[in-house]
Structure 1
Amino acid sequence: MSLSRPVQVVAVTGGKGGVGKSNLSVNISIALAEMQRRVVLLDADLGLANCDVLLGIKSTRNLADVLSGACDLRDVLVDGPGGIKVVPASSGVQQMTQLNAQQHAALINAFSSLDQQLDVLVIDTAAGISDTVVSFVTASHEVVVVVCDEPSSITDAYALIKLLSTEYHQTRFRVVANMTRTLTEGQNLFNKLQMVCDRFLDVTLQYIGQIPFDENVRKAVQKQTPLLTYAPRSRAAQAIRSIAQKVVEWPLPSGPRGHLEFFVERLLHSTQMRV
């Protein structure tokens, strides 16, 4: 069954762990829902899931149950704050991080059950450049790379972009600077990443904004409450809403490439390429 309108599939990634991509994924999903978008948030960190923790929700089933055949993907959808739907992953289940090609395909094909109407699928990827990360990122229409002011963050973001561009022909990346201390820090971080990419890679980077360091972020995590719910008028929350506004302004995919079925097909193709 084809969806009546294109679905925006946005992968949030970063290469390095600890840059705040899960927080961005959670809160940008809520911000998009505030703009009347129907949003599904997929926790694609198959071994160390934490979106459910950040959202303060509990789930009895997760992606491990989908893989085992105990249920289909619609059965694991959980209602989240602001009207978003959440697909929780498993946490502390090592075999979920070591899926073979057949298991990847089974998980990917499970998405065909998401035939409900939705506007945006936000994917919170795992850290690093594992096969699973690459599968989800290369299948997405938009790739948001999160960086922060640490040398390893820029290095790891570049390594991820290099892999995706040279091996999988990904050419466009959106960049967010997180936990910035000044107005110029984010732009400077982007400039560093763009300089090395321009020198060695044939890619296009677009800077879509920065999220200032905000103590409310830490407090929200401790309360297991999304920042946009805990401190909706905070500086960081306002910055996330500004980024979400840019997301809705991105052109929607057209033709068959715009439907969720194509996302499934690209995931499956990406998996088969590595068999």
Structure 2
Amino acid sequence: MSANRPVKVIAVTGGKGGVGKTNLSINLSIALAELRRRVVLLDADLGLANVDVLLGLKAQYNLADVLDGSKRLQDVMLNGPAGIKVVPASSGVQQMTSLSPQEHAALIYAFNELADQLDVLMIDTAAGISDTVLSFVQAAQEVIIVVCDEPSSITDAYALMKLLNADHGVFRFRVIANMTRSNQEGINLFNKLNGVCERFLDASLQYLGSVPFDENVRKSVQKRQSLLEFAPRSKAASAIRVLAQKIDQWPVQATPRGHLEFFLERLLTADVSV
């Protein structure tokens, strides 16, 4: 492996809350770790963080401590299942929900110190279309949009993509349909979203696949375990592993795109032969 291999940076978002985005972020991270990737999961819901809670981890420090300079990222990372590392955010800290552009940039640049320690950075964004969501998504290489079969999920996902496309230069989105009752339902959801985007946006949508509705997901949340630990052979866990294998095949972005992004120094010096 090249010393200057670029890091794959993936933002998981969706506009609407309640579509299962955080659960997918956690379990995709674990599935990628099972494929022997070094994965860091960033909880980018800066005001209402819950990745550590869902995994039953106790965070002594978090991103607020990194931002005020009292801790380095290395100091706040938690050990998660399958060897993933979790960067916890703060919960109930008002000022973390309204960071300045300079503070967003400082957080994104702070990750440069981890560049040699990971292959994949997975970013679980907050719901909605706040500056924080837009900042983290724009700084990623790949954007996964999570949708489910509710009209508001499609409209919110479209609103987020419209904003990212028109104002922030994001031109490619991958789509996961979550909590589906059938494979066809997932395809129909994607087609609905893609139809609107083809008419109104200058962006390409790619369907990654679907994760079926599975009662084990709710049970795993109650147990504060990841689904892949709690029910590794469940329908949803199997579907997530298939998605992770697809994600693992994505080529890594190895050239800067001209705006603030994670591991920019690594991109500027990348050995693109890897």
Q: What is the TM-score of this pair, normalised by structure 2?
A: 0.92
SS of residue matched to 1:263: coil
Q: Which residue of 2 aligns with 1:248?
A: 248
C-alpha spacing 1:50/1:32, structure 2 compared with 1 (3 Å): same
How far residue 226 of structure 1 moved from its aligned partner, in angstroms, is 0.1
Q: CA RMSD in A?
A: 1.7
Whole-Å separation in 1 of the counterparts to 2:244 and 2:186: 17
% identical aligned pairs: 68
Q: Which residue of 1 aligns with 2:80?
A: 80
Q: Does 1:31 align with 2:31?
A: yes
C-alpha spacing 1:135/1:43, structure 2 compared with 1 (3 Å): same
C-alpha spacing 1:160/1:107, structure 2 compared with 1 (3 Å): same
SS of residue matched to 2:117: coil
The aligned runs of 1:9-28 (5 Å cut-off) are 9-28=9-28
After the TM superposition, which of the residue ranges 96-105 and 137-146 deviates more from structure 2? 96-105
Whole-Å separation in 1 of the counterparts to 2:155 and 2:3: 39
The aligned runs of 1:3-14 (5 Å cut-off) are 3-14=3-14
How far residue 183 of structure 1 moved from its aligned partner, in angstroms, is 2.2
Q: Does 1:201 align with 2:201?
A: yes
Whole-Å separation in 2 of the counterparts to 1:209 and 1:174: 9
Q: Which residue of 2 aligns with 1:123?
A: 123
C-alpha spacing 1:138/1:203, structure 2 compared with 1 (3 Å): same
Whole-Å separation in 2 of the counterparts to 1:212 and 1:183: 8
Whole-Å separation in 2 of the counterparts to 1:115 and 1:82: 20
C-alpha spacing 1:186/1:253, structure 2 compared with 1 (3 Å): same
Whole-Å separation in 1 of the counterparts to 2:111 and 2:245: 27
Q: Which residue of 1 aligns with 2:268?
A: none
After the TM superposition, which of the residue ranges 133-142 and 222-231 deviates more from structure 2? 133-142
Q: Which residue of 1 aligns with 2:189?
A: 189
Whole-Å separation in 2 of the counterparts to 1:104 and 1:221: 30
SS of residue matched to 1:241: helix
Whole-Å separation in 2 of the counterparts to 1:105 and 1:143: 19
SS of residue matched to 2:262: helix
How far residue 6 of structure 1 moved from its aligned partner, in angstroms, is 1.7
| Runs of 5+ consecutive residues of structure 2 not aligned to the other structure | 266-274
AA matched with 1:23: N
AA matched with 1:20: G
C-alpha spacing 1:207/1:38, structure 2 compared with 1 (3 Å): same
How far residue 252 of structure 1 moved from its aligned partner, in angstroms, is 1.7
Q: Which residue of 1 aligns with 2:99?
A: 99
CA contact (8 A) 2:174 2:205 kept: yes
AA matched with 1:79: N
The aligned runs of 1:107-146 (5 Å cut-off) are 107-146=107-146
Q: Which residue of 1 aligns with 2:51?
A: 51
How far residue 105 of structure 1 moved from its aligned partner, in angstroms, is 2.7
How far residue 3 of structure 1 moved from its aligned partner, in angstroms, is 4.9
After the TM superposition, which of the residue ranges 116-125 and 141-150 deviates more from structure 2? 116-125
SS of residue matched to 2:178: strand
AA matched with 1:184: Q
C-alpha spacing 1:115/1:254, structure 2 compared with 1 (3 Å): closer
CA contact (8 A) 1:46 1:91 kept: yes
**Matched pairs, number:** 262
After superposing on structure 2, the runs of 4+ consecutive aligned residues of structure 1 that deviate more than 6 Å are none
SS of residue matched to 2:228: helix
C-alpha spacing 1:197/1:262, structure 2 compared with 1 (3 Å): closer
Whole-Å separation in 2 of the counterparts to 1:89 and 1:113: 18
Provide Cα deviations, 1:193-233, integer angstroms capped at 9, x if missing partner.
00000111111101111000000000000000000000000
CA contact (8 A) 1:139 1:264 kept: no
Whole-Å separation in 2 of the counterparts to 1:109 and 1:180: 37
How far residue 265 of structure 1 moved from its aligned partner, in angstroms, is 4.4
